[in-house]
Amino acid sequence: MPAVNFHVRWPDGKEEKCYSPSTVIYDYFKPGDAMPMSEFIRRADEALTLASERVASRYGYRCSSAADQLSQLKRRVTEFKDQGREVVVMSMSEISH
């Protein structure tokens, strides 16, 4: 099962490499997508939860890396007072384990 690294740019200009254990992330984000943080975190929550469920159906256990990534993204979002500011998906690339 290929995993995906996706890079985002936060409203403060900082870029972050993120991880999804499943290509399902492509159903939620595309390179160049720009959206309010509330929309970004909603999509990330759905995508990473589904990715973890796909891992569980294949291997019998949920992906802790997906849960950790989601927690990290949620913490990062709380750093910004103006939740309407945009997050940009810079790039996405498959990785193999």
pLDDT at position 83: 64
Distance CA 97, CA 81 (A): 37
pLDDT digits (tens, 9 = 90+) for 49-94: 999 998 888 888 888 899 999 999 999 998 887 767 899 999 999 9
Q: Where exactly are the structural domains of the chain?
A: 3-95
Distance CA 74, CA 40 (A): 10
Find the mean pLDDT for residues 21-40.
96
Whether the predicted pLDDT of 42 surpasses 80: yes
- For 74, the 3-state DSSP assignment is helix
Structural element, H or E, at residue 41: helix 37-59
